[in-house]
Structure 1
């Protein structure tokens, strides 16, 4: 304790200095909630001189401020101090932005009788704004994190575009479309000129339910959209800058739209605001993302544009990957088909049909192949193989091995000797890939089939009398190991029985044991009296459902009746 004669720090003058000098706003209200006193800080907050407060209520003085007067009345009634968070606008110049305060109210008494309340007010607009910005940043990051798992899930260009459009609706826009350059248009030809019309392909469109029917009139996915010269899409692609169009006039909309005839449809749909963003990756333009809002949805903000740009940037990388993959996959697939070509003609006494199905577009092409090699005495060597791995390299190796086999197979050697020679030749080649192979020497004159296989799945016989039989042939190691050790098995080939040779893509499925896959093949009952083409169609319908998980090559052979007309 201080000395007895120390001055009292809480004198009326000291308290007045404290109240008048603090940065907090302080007000004293009477029992009718009329101002009795305000300090300079609160006068500045309210934008009203202190003297002009006296005798007036907050509602009279500041009608655009929500102060929760019922809370203050409860403080008067029960004496319990309470806090409020008023917001709104005072007469102090602060732009259009809403302001926020934190207030505490205490009851004032004289001889136990309530005479009013005192309120202490601090403006918290800045911290509230920082909190809102932080929340917006968190929401944006959460949105982008979600987008990572929902956009670009495949290497299909149109699927990626659809995922982008559907992700934006309805969270960011009421309507979203994605237009891309035609796939046949080379990168060098994608230089957009604002003074010329532009033709793009609509890859995707998404809309809220109330707009879906009308949106179809704007162009379905897969259709081409022609943009008039000087419209917003060519401008955005030429400049690389996004554009916001909020509440445009009919004249402005007619200039910005793909063509002026669309204005009436836009108005009928109730669309009032739009955003056009370029889609580009690695310096190359890919297309545009267009978003629109209508009805009671608010106009687009700069924050909306920032979010959309982030999403468009991420999606553009996925779109470019899909575009590059689609182009490279198409080249590889065409190369493989060209290398595979059609098998040689077998002996006239043998009917042969074949099929090749590439894997789904999410996988690279493989090295599956088949062939027939004519032998003397009415015989033919039937071949099916599979180079390990995928891609152009596997397809090229497949072509090399096929050429080797045609040379070795032309010699009148039994199938297991052909495999031994081919194995040694591949093993000597640098960087050669292993390959599986099944050889069958078909002899329709003697009614015999002689089998030898190198790491390949067993052949099957579809019997004319019904049922499917898997032929047990010693597997031997894949070609290219240099180990050799192949054996031959000869079985009867009754008239009408169909020989079936295939690669693993026909029967194998993920998470399934190969024995179960082969059992499913053996359980088939197919009408072998049909043409071989029809037979293969039925076989593929039974065993390949949806996009193939791996490339499928299959060949069927049947001895022709020499007495048939």
Structure 2
């Protein structure tokens, strides 16, 4: 009886052979097996789990899932629940591991059991199998990644300039093919250019600012139109409805009736059908002041119809573009006003005497920079003398151009006082300070006697003049001390006598001609010593050569003036 009892006792205990077999099964199974302690730290992983995680087994031990695999949603809360109540649970988890799996998210289904020894809870065992996400889930994940990529790219690829058409082109190039097979942006004509003809009553007229399509549709794109076209939309067209409600219009185009609701006119239906269109989204491009235009997205051929997520992304992109387009619109408006004002004020200066030759140029910087306050003038003085002036008001825009007109008017008033150049600058400095004009300016004055010989030069923070002597004498920079800019109230200007014989060309300029990023201004100014009169001796040709050489790369406006006293009093006036 006792022997039988011992036999039964050994039958309930695992033999060494049983343990070896169990270890072999766990190690050899394709299922991933792991054991974690009560703190959810790894105690054991089998080779299958080691391969799934892409981390050696030894590296697992003593570390939690969160520490080891931070990109895994392992549901630690459910594992703790298994430890707490002992109820086995099936848990789904997902994420990415260091194992080579590409960029796709991986999915696992696991069974989790509580482990006990002599009635004491020691951990949890997990048996995992990798499963594949459904095709729909995979497509949704891929679509979400594309959408996020589009939104991220919009931050750097759209709105790089203050030009409306460029901004529109950047947006349509971004959304094709990522969001549509064809895309166009159309804006109200008042925001870009005046319409070529008045729109009929009840018709909404837009200007197509940008248009693009995937390569396979480009040959048929001509029937759709080109950038720059004016398009008239009837009252019931999708674009008109979109602008009226300031809400997107989504059309699934299953027939000519639906196409007709989208088209600006019945004649355009055939072009839409030839393009193979089957879905369209018309999205308003609006700012707080109202609509600027619309963004139209089209899908054709085998492309899927637009989803709600597509519409959400399109709305976000249109909203971001609207801000950039509004900035461009405001810039264009202000730039046009400032440029016209400056041009009206910088009409070619009159020649104070028929024996004085004058040539001038004003060159605005590119459209990304507002027009500035550059100015020049020649003012006749008593006794055959004349005052030459070159100035540059700080800042840009309409305010700078208006301030420039004040400086120019005050200078003409003071020039009649028969003062030397430095006294003119002192008076001008005081008057500007008292007037409350809050924009400082640099200014270079030169008083020249038409008989030649010497000229008086004074500078208020301006760059030195250049003298190009006739013959082989050469070119020299005027050694003129520069006092403080005007409008500071400091004064302290000096007049310098500079040799200026008949035939010597006095060349004056603003800093836009020579300032270049990353280069010392003294080096840039020093290159002006290389200026030479062209073989013809013509001042207009001289300025053409100067701007061809120094103009490219300018980041600020450029004003230049070349003048000289003719040698022979009997000669006629030079070319202007």
Q: How large is the RMSD of aligned CA atoms in angstroms?
A: 3.4
Q: Which residue of 2 aligns with 1:480?
A: 487
* Structure 1 counterpart of 2:273: 267
Instruction: Determine if the alignment matches structure 1 residue 527 to structure 2 residue 534.
Output: yes
Equivalent residue runs for 1:22-37 within 5 Å: none
Q: 1:538 aligns with which of 545, 566, 576?
A: 545
Which whole-Å CA distance do the structure 2 matches of 1:178 and 1:402 have between them? Answer: 44
| Unaligned 5+ runs, structure 1 | 9-84, 86-99, 106-119
Task: Within 5 Å, give how 1:371-386 maps onto structure 2.
Answer: 371-386=377-392
For residues 102-141 of structure 1, the aligned pairs below 5 Å read 139-141=146-148
* Residue 292 of structure 2 corresponds to residue 291 of structure 1: no
**Structure 1 residue 380, shift from structure 2 partner:** 0.8
Question: Per-residue deviation at 1:406?
Answer: 0.8
- Contact kept? 2:334, 2:397, Cα under 8 Å: no
Q: Deviations over 1:252-304 (max 9, x none)?
A: 21342123333333333333322211111114011111121223322222221
Map of 2:16 onto structure 1: none
145, 148, 151: which one pairs with 1:144? 151
- Cα offset, 1:504, TM superposition: 0.2
Q: Are the counterparts in 2 of residues 150 and 163 from structure 1 also a CA contact under 8 Å?
A: yes
Alpha-carbon displacement from aligned partner over 1:226-269 (angstroms, at most 9, x marks no partner): 22342221121112222222343123213421233333333333
TM-score by length of 2: 0.70
- Number of the residue aligned with 1:469: 476
Name the CA shift for 1:564/1:338 in 2 (closer, same or farther; >3 Å): closer
Question: Which residue of 2 is the match for residue 158 of structure 1?
Answer: 165
Is the contact made by 1:367 and 1:390 (CA closer than 8 Å) also made in structure 2?
Answer: yes
Q: Does the 8 A contact of 2:280 with 2:297 survive in 1?
A: yes
Alignment of 1:173 onto 2:166: no
Q: 1:262 to 1:455 in 2, by over 3 A?
A: same
284-293 vs 205-214, which moves further = 205-214
User: Which of 476, 487, 493 is residue 500 of structure 2 equivalent to?
Assistant: 493
- Contact 1:347-1:375 within 8 A present in 2 as well: no
Q: Deviations over 1:442-498 (max 9, x none)?
A: 222134332111110011123333653222211122122333222222333344332
- Change in CA separation of 1:135 and 1:218 when aligned onto 2, cut-off 3 Å: closer
Post-superposition shift, 1:217?
Answer: 4.1
By how many angstroms is 1:538 displaced?
2.2
How far apart, in 1, do the equivalents of 2:570 and 2:193 lie? 58
Are the aligned partners of 2:389 and 2:443 in contact in 1 as well (CA < 8 Å)? yes
Q: 1:278 corresponds to which residue?
A: 284
* Matched residues, number: 449
When residues 297 and 233 of structure 1 are mapped into structure 2, their CA distance, relative to the original with a 3 A threshold, is same
Q: 2:456 touches 2:496 (CA, 8 Å); kept in 1?
A: yes
Distance 1:491 1:216, change over 3 A: farther
Q: Is the CA contact (8 Å cut-off) linking 1:496 and 1:529 kept in structure 2?
A: no
Unaligned runs of 5+ in 2: 1-7, 13-91, 93-105, 112-127
1:526/1:538 contact within 8 Å kept: no
Q: Give the aligned partner of residue 306 of structure 1.
A: 312
Quickly say closer, same or farther: Cα 1:263–1:530, change in 2 above 3 A. Answer: farther
Could you say which residue in structure 2 is the equivalent of 1:326?
A: 332
Give the match's secondary structure for 1:327: helix
Instruction: Write out aligned runs for 1:50-65 (5 A).
Output: none
Q: Deviations over 1:185-224 (max 9, x none)?
A: 999xxxx99x922211111112222323432443322232
Matches within 5 A, 1:353-502: 353-430=359-436, 432-465=438-471, 467-502=474-509
Q: Specify whether residues 104 and 450 from structure 1 end up closer, same or farther in structure 2 by C-alpha distance, changes over 3 A only.
A: closer
